[in-house]
Amino acid sequence: MKQILRKTILARLAMTLCLAMFATNTWAQSGQQFITEVMLIGTKGSDARDYYVGMYTADGWKSTNYDLNAGCGSKSDYIYLLYRSSENTDGQNHGYISRFLIYVGKNCPQTISQGGLSYRLASYDGTDHFSDLKGDLNSNAGGDDIHLYYTKDVPSDGQFVTSIWFDNNSQSSVGTSSTWDNPGVDLNKGCGSSTPYIYMHVSTAKPTAPVPPPHYPTYYDLNKLTSDVVLMEGDIIMGSLASSAKITIADGAMVKLKDVEIQYIVKDKTKWAGITCEGDATILYDGKNMVMGLDPDYPAIYVPQGKTLTLKSSGKGRKFETYSGGFFYRNSTSAAIGAGNGMNCGNIIIDGGQVEAHAYQGAMAIGRGSNTTSGNVTLRWIYDDDYIYLDGGMESSKVRFDSQQKFYLEGTSTEATPNNIAGQTIVPLPTDGVDDLIAEPNVNQPVYTLSGQRVSNPKRGIYIVNGKKVLVK
């Protein structure tokens, strides 16, 4: 399948590259667009690739639409470079990228200094293997370890990157130095493929306006955090909060949480939410996460009025538990996700994953605090093992389901509606025609898919066991 897809991509690529190279000559002169962020996406399958690329492009990222493992065989990961660009100097730009560096070798460091510039390892996301390899451009291709670095330092010529493209021509491509005239590095180096090499190219220009100060995505270990922090675009937090630090997400930022635990350390010392959104925010979560409000009057995640929080799962089986501050204080003034006592709430989008929202008796699981108003709450699912557990009330007039999807009350064939989901677990799989509900099949019983294929480790879904349709929960 990947070989067929690769041929289709390569067949269209000649015209695409010609257009891209033509656009390169005019892009910097029209609106002065400069690259502000880059992200490498690596996945094992095309479905996961489409999900991750789609997730980031929906948040304003652009794709170079070129598989950096093209031609390395069906076992290699799909790898794509995404980027953000801007022509102005305010908001979330935080500086322009001036140079790229390609590092070949094992044990890649987080930073590299070369030619008077300090380079950072490019951000990466995707399936576990690619993330474990820190964005190796030869992931699962069998070649050399190759990593991409970038810098936002101001170079001596004052030039910053305006465009990026890939082809099989090494001339003027990015090499292992901060200068442009170095021989380029084959991004498929060592993979043993007989297909054309892949080289990275950039165009640059000098900005006419002052360059904004640089911001690099930062990794925060909550175990070591001792002071308040404002998370900016691309920042990542992980670990368990071991202090009374306040965690805030900057307006418009997309941040990532991985195996995070946030709960109060000293009672009555933290008068804020577990996570406070300054404005619009996207939280992309991986692993298992738990966040609680740090005061009885505050939610786990605060969403201000007129703004939107999007809570996104980064893949199948990811979990996000939230508890209102009042849940453990036995106080019903705050929601789990949304707002607290006397606070109006903005819009909330739950975009897949295994989400639990726990509030104390009578409080909203997701939405407004007591005696206040709420924006809309939109619920979506991506994988068949997704679920949303609403341990608390819901304001039915504010609940929206994705127009192309349905949820069902767990353990029944009843379709979920805004009026019947409070206090319920809702799941994407219908149970109509199912003879039984089981946690897991007996190991001695053969299990078959609905198409008759035998499976040894069935996931959540509907199967045939002993001639009956069963829903494996």
Mean pLDDT for all residues in the chain: 82
Q: Pick from 143, 147, 127, 148: which is nearest to 195 by CA?
A: 143
Strand ranges for 4-59 from DSSP E: 34-43
297-326: buried (b, 16+ CB within 10 Å) or exposed (e) per residue? bbbbbbbbeebbbbbbbbbbebbbbbbbbb
Summarize pLDDT for 113-155 with one digit per residue, the tens: 988 999 999 999 888 889 888 999 989 888 789 999 999 998 9
pTM of the model: 0.72
Band (pLDDT 50/70/90 cuts) for residue 356 is very high
Q: Is the dihedral of CA 31, 32, 36, 40 positive or negative?
A: positive
- Reported as a single tens digit per residue, the pLDDT across 152-180 is 998 999 999 999 999 888 888 887 543 43
**H/E stretch holding 24:** helix 2-27
For residue 23, the surrounding DSSP H or E stretch is: helix 2-27
Tell me how far apart the terminal alpha carbons of the chain are, to the nearest angstrom.
31
Higher pLDDT, residue 252 or 438: 252
- CA 73/CA 44 separation, integer angstroms: 12
Q: Give the closest residue to 200 by CA, choosing from 297, 122, 292.
A: 122
Q: Which residues contact 354 (CB under 8 A, 6 or more apart)?
A: 313, 317, 318, 319, 320, 385, 386, 387
Residue 388's beta-bridge partner residues? 355, 426
**Listed residue (345, 260, 259, 250) closest to 305, CA to CA:** 345
> pLDDT of 280-318, one tens digit each?
999 999 999 999 999 989 999 999 999 999 999 988 889
Flag whether pLDDT at 6 surpasses 80. Answer: no
Q: Which two tokens stand for residue 384?
A: 């068949």
> Alpha-carbon distance 376 to 173, whole Å?
48
Give residue 176's pLDDT. 53
Q: Please choose, from the candidates 431, 426, 454, the residue with its C-alpha nearest in 3D space to the C-alpha of residue 441.
A: 454
